[in-house]
């Protein structure tokens, strides 16, 4: 146990974030690290040069002890801020008073439904502002392990709620806007905070049929990898200069991602050019331990730690590096220069956060409690929910006509929701306004009955007050669906049905023949076809996890104070979908035992398509017809392209005139889908290539959305993962049921926009996929 002896000196860092190093009077004051005119690389290198090998290794964990003899304080790398500053090892809310709460926005899956990138930047800016205020009070770190930007591949995934949805273009655009807000631009002198794109890569399953995230080996073809699983990460690394990446629990084609030099070095750093000195990779928590067990990838603990370090995992969430790198070093399993490299990355990053710089020179150091939960932030949290809520059915009952003598029944386990509205990875909200609270603010009579005691709770003992409330009321609102009791970290859903108890209650309530609204809450979509088909149910809204003011946002839409314009960021599949495809099947395209995944490939009939969402008005749209049947030469498109990454080159910016033909002012999301016959077969049904949200389009008025298409928008991915521009017939459509369309042609020879680095041949990827659980193994190999 020699490896353990070195740990006697390892300090434990408490929950409070560390103070900054003292560059005025401390031992480092004359070191280059304290010289603000030196480059971050030089400064970090000078600091790390002072470390002994033991001190280096001791500082490879997320709970970093610093180096007391150098006056380098401990630092906690692990803070969370998925949709607001969130409880985590590095975040310390006060029990009362200042710093006892922070603005709590909707979950990303709902924010995704706004299809409003400017909103995302604004939300992220509030989050980073509040994070900085907390940091100035020594209540957070400066590094936040957000966003979760894995595309939501399978509706069962318990953590899909943390993502903006299923579409890789959408996620790429969203995360670009998010990082702008979190980091404070794409190359600021001082970063607001460091964001961390996770989980790299192929992580989108908690547990299914005996497959656990800690040991699961995702088998992904190069085509699916580049086309579906990686675009948001490319956006983070190549296009948004994110400060950090997190490697994931799962293995990818046989190699645990935190030990995968192909992913972490070849793809991330070399191919995407993510090579700034301050960019680092952290392991998901104890993913390094998992390399040893249960992945059984490395034969010893020392080898597991060295594998991860050598592959490019710079920080280990956990203590495995600190525990086992000493022995690994003694065994010659890594070079000192490798751990030095990781530490230089870490401290370069802190330097870019102003960690060693005079506070008076840094604007973010001036932020205080008065910058937290401001009126504007509260309004933004409300606005974010309003923009995002999706109207799925309306027989004309909405908006509700509410008068002072109106009585409303509010029924269901979401009616009086509090923390439910925050989903997961949340902090302390200043308030949590439920639908019930919001209804009570109206000048009406509200009859509340929870009825359903919890997710799937079939206990009809609580149902009698429901009938009483329905009897007494003019309008019935049922607020239910799912929540983190059935979808959460570590728990994928085992059904995408409404619970039998909820459906039964909804069905009985519908028999009253009164105006009736169903609120479908929670992150994952639920098959609402029985609600759609029931003529006695007036309306259906999806409200996700709407955050601190979610109830008010919902009620304002129901009563017409606000107009609905959110769009579903994920397909609502029929309930049998999950019996048609194993969760372990990573293929997007239809095949045996796979009806296809996402709106691009699903060959069944969705209950609601990706992008669905009704308004209180009607819209028409048109695209400049001069594009129609136009022919573009691939060679001239590429020869006019001078970007180093050719997919970024503009193809055309399509102006879309959107006309409100109805009688209610409303936002409108112009979704641009591309379809056609080009590139490798099979062809996707369509692909989102751009979107723009228009605001407050007045009745009878028009506004213009501009859909910017790049060469990348037109490209397809071949079997090797290369991005190629192909000749063929193209059509750009506006909206899910197209309001406008133009056709055009590309001609000439295919042109490669991006040559994909091929994986080493020894990997287990084999074209088909491997399922370690019972069924697939026998079924599919």
Binding site for a copy of itself (CB under 8 A): 1, 4, 7, 10, 12, 61-63, 89, 207, 209-210, 212, 214-215, 285-286, 289-290, 292-294, 301, 318-320, 323, 456, 458-461, 463-464, 467, 471, 494-495, 497, 500-501, 503-504, 507-508, 511-512, 578-582, 593, 772-779
Instruction: Find the shortest distance in angstroms from Cβ 613 to a copy of itself.
Output: 29
Give the residue with the Cβ less far from a copy of itself, 12 or 762: 12
Structure tokens at 95: 């029990």
Contact 598, 610 (CB under 8 A): yes
Among candidates 147, 167, 146, 164, which has minimal Cα distance to 228? Answer: 167
Structure tokens at 268: 């991330």
Q: How far apart are CA 779 and CA 781, in angstroms?
A: 6
Give the residue with the Cβ less far from a copy of itself, 500 or 760: 500
Q: How far apart are CA 197 and CA 200, in angstroms?
A: 7
Structure tokens at 587: 């293929």
Instruction: Find the shortest distance in angstroms from Cβ 418 to a copy of itself.
Output: 23
Strand pairing of 244-247 and 196-200?
parallel
Instruction: Find the shortest distance in angstroms from Cβ 630 to a copy of itself.
Output: 46
Instruction: Find the shortest distance in angstroms from Cβ 241 to a copy of itself.
Output: 29
Q: Is 27 helix (H, G, I), strand (E, B) or coil?
A: coil
Give the residue with the Cβ less far from a copy of itself, 7 or 50: 7
Among candidates 331, 76, 25, 204, which has minimal Cα distance to 597? Answer: 204
Question: Which one from 284, 483, 667, 754 is the annotated catalytic residue?
Answer: 284
Give the residue with the Cβ less far from a copy of itself, 88 or 713: 88
Q: How far apart are CA 131 and CA 372, in angstroms?
A: 9
Torsion sign across C-alpha atoms 30, 34, 37, 40: positive
Count of H helices and E strands in the chain?
A: 24, 27
Give residues with Cβ within 8 angstroms of 454, minimum separation 6: 413, 485
| DSSP string for 149-175 | -----STT-TTGGGSS-S-HHHHHHHH
Instruction: Find the shortest distance in angstroms from Cβ 714 to a copy of itself.
Output: 36
Strand pairing of 723-725 and 687-697?
unpaired
Q: Is 260 a catalytic residue?
A: no
Give the residue with the Cβ less far from a copy of itself, 319 or 528: 319
Write the CA distances from 487 to 17, 238, 420, 496, 541, integer angstroms. 31, 32, 12, 10, 19
Give residues with Cβ within 8 angstroms of 154, minimum separation 6: 160, 204, 205, 492, 578, 581, 583, 597
Give the residue with the Cβ less far from a copy of itself, 70 or 285: 285
- Tokens 């030099």 belong to residue: 261
Instruction: Find the shortest distance in angstroms from Cβ 488 to a copy of itself.
Output: 12
The number of beta carbons lying within 10 Å of the beta carbon of residue 671 is: 27
Instruction: Find the shortest distance in angstroms from Cβ 76 to a copy of itself.
Output: 10
Instruction: Find the shortest distance in angstroms from Cβ 243 to a copy of itself.
Output: 22
Q: How far apart are CA 328 and CA 24, in angstroms?
A: 37
Give the residue with the Cβ less far from a copy of itself, 218 or 466: 466
Instruction: Find the shortest distance in angstroms from Cβ 21 to a copy of itself.
Output: 23
| DSSP string for 301-313 | HHHHHHHHHHHT-
Q: Is 660 helix (H, G, I), strand (E, B) or coil?
A: strand
**Cis peptide bond N-terminal to 294, omega within 30:** yes
Give the residue with the Cβ less far from a copy of itself, 407 or 622: 407
Q: How far apart are CA 521 and CA 110, in angstroms?
A: 10
Contact 162, 425 (CB under 8 A): yes
Give residues with Cβ within 8 angstroms of 100, minimum separation 6: 93, 94, 428
Q: Is 601 helix (H, G, I), strand (E, B) or coil?
A: helix
Give the residue with the Cβ less far from a copy of itself, 7 or 752: 7
Give the residue with the Cβ less far from a copy of itself, 293 or 655: 293
Contact 269, 261 (CB under 8 A): no
Instruction: Find the shortest distance in angstroms from Cβ 462 to a copy of itself.
Output: 9
Q: Which residues are catalytic?
A: 284
């Amino acid at each position: 146990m020699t490896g353990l002896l070195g740990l006697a000196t390892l300090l434990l860092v408490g929950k409070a974030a560390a103070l900054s190093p003292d560059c005025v009077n401390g031992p480092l004051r004359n070191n280059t690290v304290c010289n603000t005119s030196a480059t971050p690389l030089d400064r970090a290198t000078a600091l790390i040069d002072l470390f002994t090998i033991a001190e280096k290794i001791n500082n490879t964990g997320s709970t970093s002890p610093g180096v007391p003899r150098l006056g380098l304080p401990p630092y906690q790398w692990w803070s969370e801020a998925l949709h607001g500053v969130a409880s985590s090892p590095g975040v310390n809310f006060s029990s009362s008073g200042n710093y006892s709460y922070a603005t709590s926005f909707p979950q990303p899956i709902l924010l995704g439904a706004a299809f409003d990138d400017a909103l995302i930047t604004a939300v992220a800016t509030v989050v980073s502002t509040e994070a900085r205020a907390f940091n100035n009070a020594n209540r957070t770190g400066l590094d936040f392990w957000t966003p979760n930007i894995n595309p939501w591949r399978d509706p069962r995934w318990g953590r899909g709620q943390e993502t903006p949805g299923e579409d890789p273009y959408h996620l790429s655009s969203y995360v670009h806007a998010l990082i702008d807000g979190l980091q404070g631009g794409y190359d600021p002198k001082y970063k607001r905070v460091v964001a961390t794109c996770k989980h790299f890569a192929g992580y989108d399953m908690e547990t299914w049929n005996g497959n656990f995230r800690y040991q699961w080996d995702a088998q992904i073809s190069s085509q699916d990898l580049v086309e579906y699983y990686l675009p948001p990460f490319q956006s983070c690394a190549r296009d948004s200069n994110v400060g950090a990446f997190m490697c994931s629990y799962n293995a990818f084609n046989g190699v645990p991602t935190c030990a995968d030099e192909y992913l972490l070095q070849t793809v991330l750093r070399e191919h995407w050019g993510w090579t700034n000195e301050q960019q680092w990779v952290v392991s998901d928590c104890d993913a390094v331990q998992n390399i040893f067990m249960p992945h059984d990838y490395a034969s010893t603990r020392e080898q597991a730690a060295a594998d991860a370090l050598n592959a490019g995992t710079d920080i280990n969430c956990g203590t495995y590096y600190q525990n086992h790198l000493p022995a690994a070093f003694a065994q010659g399993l890594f070079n000192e220069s490798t751990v030095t490299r990781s530490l230089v990355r870490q401290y370069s990053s802190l330097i870019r956060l102003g960690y060693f710089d005079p506070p008076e020179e840094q604007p973010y150091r001036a932020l205080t409690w008065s910058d937290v939960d401001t009126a504007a932030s509260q309004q933004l949290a409300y606005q974010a929910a309003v923009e995002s809520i999706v109207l799925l059915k309306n027989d004309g009952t909405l908006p509700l006509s509410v008068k002072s003598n109106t009585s409303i029944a509010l029924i269901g386990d979401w009616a009086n929701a509090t923390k439910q509205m925050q989903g997961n990875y949340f902090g302390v909200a200043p308030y949590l306004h439920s639908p019930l609270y919001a209804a009570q603010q109206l000048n009406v009579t509200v009859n509340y009955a929870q009825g359903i005691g919890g997710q799937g709770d079939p206990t009809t003992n609580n149902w009698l007050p429901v009938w009483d409330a329905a009897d007494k009321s003019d309008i019935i609102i049922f607020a239910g669906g799912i929540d983190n009791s059935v979808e959460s970290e570590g728990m994928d859903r085992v059904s995408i049905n409404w619970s039998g108890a909820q459906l039964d209650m909804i069905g009985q309530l519908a028999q009253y023949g009164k105006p009736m609204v169903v609120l479908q809450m929670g992150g994952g979509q639920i098959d609402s076809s029985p609600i759609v088909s029931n003529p006695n149910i007036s309306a259906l809204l999806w409200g996700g996890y709407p955050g601190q003011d979610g109830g008010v946002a919902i009620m304002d839409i129901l009563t017409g104070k606000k107009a609905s314009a959110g769009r579903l960021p994920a397909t609502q599949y029929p309930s049998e979908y999950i019996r048609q495809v194993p969760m372990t099947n990573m293929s997007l395209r239809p095949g045996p035992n796979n009806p296809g995944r996402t709106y691009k490939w699903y060959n069944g009939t969705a209950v609601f398509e990706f992008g669905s969402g009704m308004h209180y008005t009607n819209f028409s749209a048109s695209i400049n017809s001069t594009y129609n049947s136009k022919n573009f030469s691939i060679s001239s498109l590429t020869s006019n392209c001078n970007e180093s990454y050719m997919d970024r080159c503009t193809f055309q910016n399509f102006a879309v005139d959107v006309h409100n033909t109805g009688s209610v002012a409303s936002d409108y999301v112009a979704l641009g889908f591309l379809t056609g016959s080009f590139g490798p077969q099979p062809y996707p049904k369509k692909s989102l290539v751009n979107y723009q949200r228009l605001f407050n389009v007045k009745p009878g008025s028009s506004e213009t959305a501009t859909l910017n298409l790049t060469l990348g928008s037109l490209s397809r991915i071949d079997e090797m993962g290369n991005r190629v521009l192909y000749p063929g017939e193209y059509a750009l459509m506006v909206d899910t049921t197209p309001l406008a369309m133009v056709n055009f042609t590309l001609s000439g020879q295919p042109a490669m926009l991006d040559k994909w680095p091929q994986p080493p041949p020894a990997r287990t990827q084999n074209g088909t996929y491997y399922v370690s659980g019972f069924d697939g193994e026998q079924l599919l190999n």
